[in-house]
Amino acid sequence: MDAISMMAVANPMKEGSAIESGGGLTSIPHGRRRIALDLTALLPHETGVDRYMIQLVLNLGKVDQWNHYRIYVNWEDRNRLVGLLPENFRVIPLSRRSRAVRLLFQQVLLPILVGWWEADVVHSPSFIMPMVRGSQHHILTVHDMTSFTLPKCHILLRR
């Protein structure tokens, strides 16, 4: 999430707050937002992307006690954020670390859950987002493009 998006999410009452949606910027109406973050890509040994995801959540917790957050994690990571977030954050362990189970969660269960919860924004901070997304605004973070620019440096699955 870039600085403008983070500020819009963290300060919904500020005049002119906006998030990126589809083809342009959409104003956020006043009021509490429901924001979902998919942290199911966390690995057992922290990578740079893992650090980014954890720090994003921790820093949102420091600046935003207004909006409601649901942080979806793997069962194995359920204790990673315990005691570190304010009451408006809820960590929900739903997936497993296995790639097949995680893919099923990301592509099927996540869209159902965020639709049921009526999330306003869903952030997928690790390269993959659901192909079917419903009416929620969706933010996808792509950390680098080396799988496209240097495909031979990646295994076939990541090209």
Question: 3-state class of 42 per DSSP?
Answer: coil
State the fold for domain 30-158: Rossmann fold (3.40.50)
Cβ neighbours of 28 (radius 10 Å): 22
Question: 3-state class of 49 per DSSP?
Answer: helix
Query: Rounded to 10 degrees, what is the CA torsion of 118, 62, 86, 113?
Result: 20
Where in the chain are the domains? 30-158
Cβ neighbours of 136 (radius 10 Å): 20
* pLDDT tens track, the chain, 159 positions: 444 444 444 444 343 334 333 444 445 556 899 999 999 988 888 888 899 999 999 999 999 999 999 999 999 999 999 999 999 999 999 887 788 888 888 888 899 999 999 999 998 887 777 776 677 888 888 877 777 788 888 677 655
Helix (H) or strand (E) holding 27: strand 24-27
Q: What is the pTM of this model?
A: 0.72
